[in-house]
């Protein structure tokens, strides 16, 4: 929306310049329709246009295009722009599509025979600034520096710095700071130094600094020319020798400001766009995903929905003994439910409940004031699966309700999970943010005097706004559920939400409530041990350099490493040379200096000690740790764990495994059991790529990495050496993460050339993998998202970014998301199947943890064999893949002993 009382704003775009930049910023091979029409320039230009319309909110817009190279400048100087390469055919074919796009946006575009886009823009700027009563501000978006001569206090050039996404605002002050002359003098400076892109040669040996000094000293180019004989030295001599070029350059780079374009400012007013035509063109160009969404959001002023202040509610706080009657009247309607209270560490408490119905009625219950009849009515309604309920982020409330002695069933929607499946890369799924985004209203009650009863119960007791707030939240969850339903369907997430994520809430709540037993004495002993190690390594480090320093201070480390020990410089940062872990490890490999040995060890034992300190703080009075699992943190669908993070307990080092020894079987149970998928990501790769040799390697039942190594190196499996196996294992695990030849060389300690050859041999052998990895990125770029086996999407708008680093990062995500996301989906399904089978079999054994591809169980006496059989069957049957899902199982008194 345009800001109130803001002056009208004219936006002028150099269509040819910007489209050409977009063409070279985005790889042409990554943008084409099924018919072969290239679209990279259209995509980049449209993306830039939508961004600037959103950010600058102009009232008037026009786009200028060059008609041809045949202009009056070329007639005067036959070498004008002569060194420019011939316009690629892939570019020329896209200009009509860009102009069609502008037509659908109702944006006027202009050409002028014999003149350039710059001249059209200069004419429009002159017209706009001449009418002082209109008060137009002017923005000029162009990649041509000649337009800097148009900059004034009321006109600004937006100059693309990289591609078409990073714009510099060239105001009069910015132009003078960069070039040393005011905007109207810029073409004089350009006349002296020349313009390579226009093939206008400047004075040899004279740069912008000297040219600016001359112009400022003599007050303009005309005076520099008039007093050319006073300029001494070789530069003065060169200037006099090329005076003809300078005069010609100045004549040619002067923009024409009085063309007859046949348009007035009123003709450039931004009007309502042609939605049907735009959607048809977007479909024709196969533009989907993020750009399509931006276009629909930004270029549709008729659909701009104002944010409402709040919601109207007809609500009341129910008096004691009135609950049963109110709930009976609700019947089978879907109810928005908000639980007030607190929760954490697998437990909680309830202070109030709020209910909201679609027709606008709502009610609040003060739990502490309930009668026994109220308690029974609430318990029965909550536990009734036939009574549909909608909550936001239901797991926490579920804990609080369970602590109250109530069971929650019939949850048909969790709006936090629904929003997550629609937009998995958001940082937060806060109810207030979602209400604003999807419902276009604040999470408040409208200030209506008729709604005063919301703040008081029937006895007149002031509820202090708690009741009102809770009912507003219940209503927001209900309305969000309806609003998100179509979005979930569009994202292909309905099956995942209904069959996986929603049922998993109850399973995760059960894991959190159960927790896992901890040997605190063992943990405390480890804490003391690593504390001693910290002191020992610090003293050893001090002894090497002969003084004490703060080993955690990057500044002090920089002095020691690079000034006193003269070690090779690491990557430069804003605060000096980096001293992060990777840099120090690389330095140690190069130098093997003992100070680095002790420093790295010091950091490692500090990290281990801090891990143990964090674990000890979270042990509850029952002697168990109750972690919290999150379903909406990782965009790939993986679960995460906090307070404490039990998915980050070290496992690959001996000292890390000593920490796992602290997690033990609890009282009343015989042992712990762990079960995990073997090589799950490579099995998913085999399924998705349909590579016959990879599938055969898994079906053989032999050592997978040795089997694939034998294929790549063309030797018998029993002739595969440990070195061969290690190389192919690194390849197998690195492929889904976009492993490069350089990365593989670093990982294996070999030359990049050897790593490249190894990768070539690998892909020659497993052509299906090569084709899949290339295809998955192309498909994601076309659709805007990746998809797991079960349809979980991850949206990656940066796949079409003109920023190379962001684009390559998104490409690595596109490779990884279907593999890692499918693994995440499989383990979730395995948890649901296993939980249901445990209940159906009536076993006392229980699930405790999920750690990536691993499940941890507490085994009851006499149930080990039946539990192992049950777990293997349920995990192996989580999905139908072209290769078997292999499950490894181990048991022991501790988590470490149960490893396999």
Cβ atoms of residues 106 and 273 within 8 Å: yes
Q: Per-residue DSSP letters for 91-137?
A: HHTTHHHHHHHHHHTT-EEE--TTS-HHHHHHHHHHHHHH-TTTT-E
| Residue 106 resides in a domain | yes
| Whole-number Å distance between alpha carbons of 756 and 740 | 8
- Judge whether residue 1 has pLDDT over 70: no
pLDDT higher than threshold 60 for residue 824 = yes
- DSSP-assigned letter for residue 272: -
pLDDT value at position 446?
67
Count each helix (H run) and each strand (E run) in the chain, helices first. Answer: 36, 26
Residue 784: alpha-carbon gap to chain centroid: 13
Handedness of CA 527, 531, 537, 541 (dihedral sign): positive
Tell which of 787, 821, 855 closes a domain. 821
- Is 70 exceeded by the pLDDT of residue 791? yes
Residue with tokens 């993986």: 638
Q: Is 783 exposed, middle or buried (0-12, 13-18, 19+ CB in 10 A)?
A: middle
Query: 3-state DSSP call for residue 822?
Result: helix
pLDDT at res. 308: 60
- Note whether 568 and 702 are same-domain residues: no
**Distance between CA atoms of residues 241 and 253, nearest Å:** 20
Q: What CATH number did the domain enclosing 763 receive?
A: 1.10.150.20
pLDDT per residue over 70-110, tens digit each? Answer: 778 877 777 777 666 677 878 888 999 999 999 988 999 99
**In what helix (H) or strand (E) does residue 347 lie, and over which residues does it extend?**
strand 347-356
Q: Is residue 437 in some structural domain? A: yes
Residue 622 has a pLDDT of: 95
Lowest mean pLDDT among 118-127, 627-636, 638-647, 761-770: 761-770
Where do we find the tokens 């002017």? 138
Residue 831, domain member (yes or no): no
* pLDDT of the residue at 452: 33
Confidence of residue 280 (pLDDT cuts 50, 70, 90): confident
Do 260 and 355 reside in the same domain of the chain?
no
Return left, alpha or beta for 331; rule: phi > 0 is left, psi -120 to 50 is alpha, else beta. left
In this predicted structure, what is the pLDDT of residue 269? 92
Same domain assignment for residues 611 and 756: no
Closest CA to 392 of 454, 473, 512: 473
CA torsion through residues 80, 84, 88, 92, sign: negative
Range of the domain at 369: 314-491
Q: What is the mean pLDDT of the chain?
A: 88
Segment of 20-34, 126-140, 791-805, 886-900 carrying the highest mean pLDDT: 886-900
Contact (Cβ atoms closer than 8 angstroms) between residue 181 and residue 173: no
**791 lies in a domain?**
yes
pLDDT at 297 over 60: yes
Q: Work out the pLDDT band at 313, boundaries 50, 70, 90.
A: confident
What is the pLDDT at residue 464? 45
Whether residue 530 sits in one domain with residue 404: no
Give yes or no for a contact between 831 and 504, defined as CB atoms under 8 angstroms apart: yes
CB 139 within 8 A of CB 149: no
Residue 322 to residue 592: CA distance in whole angstroms? 77
Q: Could you tell me which residue, 197 or 483, shows the higher pLDDT? A: 483
pLDDT at 746: 77
157 by DSSP, 3-state: which? strand
**Residue of 710, 542, 729, 527 whose CA lies nearest to 613:** 527
The CATH number of whichever domain residue 439 belongs to comes to 3.30.420.10
Q: What is the pLDDT of residue 28?
A: 82
Give the per-residue pLDDT at 830. 98
CATH of the domain at 108: 3.40.50.1010
* Region label for 51, one of left (φ > 0), alpha (ψ between -120 and 50) or beta (otherwise): alpha
Q: Residue 440 has what pLDDT?
A: 82
Share of the chain above pLDDT 90, in %: 54
Domains contained in the chain, number: 4
Task: Determine the pLDDT at residue 78.
Answer: 77
pTM of the model: 0.74
* Residue 513 covered by a domain: no
894, pLDDT greater than 70: yes
Q: Give the domain-ending residue among 821, 837, 852.
A: 821
Domain annotation covers residue 851 = no
Tell whether 365 and 343 lie within a shared domain. Answer: yes
Question: In angstroms, rounded to a whole number, what is the distance separating the alpha carbons of residues 234 and 668?
Answer: 96
**Structure token digits, residue 365:** 């219950």
Name residues whose C-beta falls within 8 Å of residue 265's C-beta, 6 or more positions apart in sequence. Answer: 10, 60, 127, 128, 131, 134, 136
- pLDDT of 738 strictly over 80: no
**Residue 259: C-alpha distances to residues 61, 194, 479 (Å):** 18, 26, 56
**Which residue has better confidence, 547 or 799?**
547
Do 439 and 523 share a structural domain?
no
At residue 302, the pLDDT reads 40
178 within domain boundaries? no
Say if residues 244 and 194 touch (Cβ distance below 8 Å). Answer: no
Please give the Cα distance from 720 to 706 (Å, whole number).
6
d(CA 881, CA 699): 12
Q: Round to whole Å and give the CA distance between 441 and 475.
A: 12
Mean pLDDT of 423-450: 77
472, 486 in Cβ contact below 8 A? no
Section 629-642 average pLDDT: 93
Contacts of 474 (CB under 8 A, 6+ apart): 335, 336, 337, 338, 354, 355, 356, 362
Same domain flag for 733 and 765 = yes
Output the pLDDT for position 454. Answer: 35
CB 317 within 8 A of CB 457: yes
- Does any domain span residue 503? no
Task: Compute the average pLDDT of residues 416-439.
Answer: 89
pLDDT over 50 at 68, yes or no: yes
* Claim to verify: residue 319 and residue 365 sit in the same structural domain: yes
Listed in sequence order, the residues at least 6 apart from 39 whose beta carbon sits closer than 8 Å to its beta carbon are 31, 32, 33, 94, 97, 285, 286, 287
More confident residue, 118 or 305: 118
User: Across residues 452-477, what is the average pLDDT?
Assistant: 63
* pLDDT tens, residue by residue, 241-265: 888 888 888 888 889 999 999 999 9
Judgement on whether residues 700 and 587 belong to the same structural domain of the protein: no
Do residues 134 and 74 both lie within one domain? yes
What span, in angstroms and rounded, lies between the C-alpha atoms of 346 and 452? 37
Greatest mean pLDDT among 63-77, 364-378, 636-650, 769-783: 364-378
Instruction: Note the pLDDT of residue 827.
Output: 97
Q: What is the mean pLDDT of residues 371-378?
A: 96
Q: Check residues 58 and 589 and name the one with the higher pLDDT.
A: 58
Of 790, 821, 852, the last residue of a domain is 821
CATH number, domain with residue 610: 1.20.1060.10
Asked whether residue 274 falls in the same domain as residue 382, the answer is no
* The pLDDT of residue 324: 95
Q: How many CA atoms lie within 13 A of 777 on its CB side?
A: 22
- Specify whether 474 is located in the same domain as 569: no
Residues 6 or more apart from 476 whose CB is under 8 A from it?
311, 336, 392, 431, 434, 435, 439, 443
């Amino acid at each position: 929306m345009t800001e109130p009382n803001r002056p009208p704003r004219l936006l002028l775009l150099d269509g040819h310049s910007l489209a050409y930049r977009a063409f070279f910023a985005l790889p042409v091979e990554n943008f084409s329709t099924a018919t072969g029409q290239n679209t990279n320039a259209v995509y980049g230009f449209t993306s830039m246009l939508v961004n600037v319309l959103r950010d600058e909110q102009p009232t008037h817009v026009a786009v200028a295009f060059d008609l041809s190279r045949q202009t009056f400048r070329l007639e005067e100087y036959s070498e004008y722009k002569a060194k420019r390469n011939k316009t690629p055919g892939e570019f020329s074919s896209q200009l009509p599509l860009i102009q069609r796009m502008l037509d659908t946006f109702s944006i006027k575009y202009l050409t002028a025979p014999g003149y350039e886009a710059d001249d059209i823009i200069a004419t429009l700027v002159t017209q706009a600034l001449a009418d002082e009563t209109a008060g137009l501000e002017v923005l000029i978006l162009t990649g041509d520096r000649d337009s800097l001569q148009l900059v004034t206090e009321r006109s600004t050039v937006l100059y693309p710095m990289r591609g078409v996404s990073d714009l510099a605002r060239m105001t009069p002050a910015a132009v003078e700071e960069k070039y040393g002359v005011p905007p109207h003098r810029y073409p004089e400076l350009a006349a002296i130094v020349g313009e390579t892109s226009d093939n206008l040669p400047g004075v040899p040996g004279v740069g912008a600094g000297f040219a600016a000094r001359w112009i400022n000293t003599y007050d303009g180019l005309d005076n520099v020319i008039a007093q050319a004989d006073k300029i001494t030295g070789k530069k003065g001599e060169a200037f006099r020798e090329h005076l003809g070029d300078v005069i010609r350059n100045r004549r040619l780079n002067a923009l024409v400001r009085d063309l007859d374009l046949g348009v007035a400012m009123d003709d450039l007013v931004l009007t309502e766009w042609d939605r049907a035509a735009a959607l048809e063109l977007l479909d024709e160009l196969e533009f989907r995903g993020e750009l399509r969404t931006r276009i629909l959001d930004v270029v549709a002023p008729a659909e701009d929905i104002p944010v409402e202040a709040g919601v109207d509610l007809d609500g009341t706080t129910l008096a004691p003994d009135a609950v049963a009657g109110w709930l009976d009247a609700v019947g089978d309607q879907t109810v928005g439910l908000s639980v007030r209270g607190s929760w954490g560490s697998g437990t909680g408490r309830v202070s109030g409940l709020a209910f909201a119905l679609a027709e606008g009625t709502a009610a609040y219950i003060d739990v502490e004031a309930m009668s026994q009849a109220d308690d029974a009515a609430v318990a029965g309604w909550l536990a009734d699966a036939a009574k549909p309920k909608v909550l936001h982020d239901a797991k926490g409330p579920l804990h609080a309700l369970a602590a109250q002695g109530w069971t929650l069933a019939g949850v048909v929607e969790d709006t936090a999970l629904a929003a997550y499946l629609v937009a998995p890369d958001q940082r937060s799924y806060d109810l207030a943010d979602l209400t604003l985004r999807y419902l276009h209203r604040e999470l408040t009650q409208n200030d209506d005097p008729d709604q005063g009863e919301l703040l008081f119960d029937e006895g007149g007791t002031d509820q202090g706004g708690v009741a009102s707030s809770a009912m507003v939240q219940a209503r927001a969850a209900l309305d969000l559920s309806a609003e998100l339903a179509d979005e979930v369907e569009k994202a292909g997430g309905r099956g995942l939400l209904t069959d996986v994520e929603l049922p998993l809430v109850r399973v995760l709540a059960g894991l959190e409530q159960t927790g896992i037993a901890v040997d605190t004495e063992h943990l405390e002993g480890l804490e003391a041990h690593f504390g001693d190690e910290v002191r020992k390594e610090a003293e050893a480090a001090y002894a090497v350099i002969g003084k004490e320093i703060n080993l955690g201070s990057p500044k002090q480390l920089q002095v020691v490493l690079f000034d006193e020990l003269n070690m090779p410089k690491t990557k430069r940062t804003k605060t000096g040379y980096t001293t992060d872990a990777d840099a120090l490890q690389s330095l140690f490999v190069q130098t093997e200096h003992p100070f680095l040995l002790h420093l790295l060890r010091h950091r490692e034992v500090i990290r281990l000690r801090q891990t143990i300190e964090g674990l000890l703080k979270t042990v509850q009075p029952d002697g168990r740790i109750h972690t919290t699992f999150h379903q909406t943190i990782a965009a790939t669908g993986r679960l995460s764990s906090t307070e404490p993070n039990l998915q980050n307990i070290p496992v690959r080092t001996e000292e890390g495994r000593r920490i796992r020894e602290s997690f033990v079987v609890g009282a009343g149970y015989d042992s712990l059991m762990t079960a995990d998928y073997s090589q799950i990501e490579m099995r998913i790769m085999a399924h998705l790529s349909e590579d016959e040799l990879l599938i055969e390697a898994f079906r053989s039942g032999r050592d997978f990495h040795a089997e694939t190594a034998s294929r790549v190196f063309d030797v018998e499996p029993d002739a595969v050496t440990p070195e061969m196996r290690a190389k192919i294992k690194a390849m197998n695990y690195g492929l889904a993460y976009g492993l490069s030849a350089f990365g593989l060389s670093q990982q294996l300690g070999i030359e990049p050339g050897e790593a490249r050859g190894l990768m070539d041999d690998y892909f020659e052998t497993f052509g299906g993998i090569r084709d899949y990895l290339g295809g998955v990125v192309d498909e994601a770029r076309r659709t805007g998202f990746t998809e797991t086996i079960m349809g979980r999407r991850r949206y990656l708008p940066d796949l079409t970014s003109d920023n190379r680093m962001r684009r390559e990062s998104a490409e690595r995500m596109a490779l990884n998301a279907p593999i890692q996301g499918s693994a995440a989906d499989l383990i979730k399904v395995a948890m649901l199947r296993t939980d249901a089978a445990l209940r159906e079999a009536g076993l006392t054994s229980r699930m405790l943890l999920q750690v990536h591809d691993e499940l941890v169980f507490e085994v009851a006496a006499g149930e080990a064999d039946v539990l192992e059989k049950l777990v293997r069957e349920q995990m192996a049957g989580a999905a139908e893949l072209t290769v078997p899902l292999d499950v490894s199982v181990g048991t022991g008194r501790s988590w470490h002993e149960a490893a396999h």
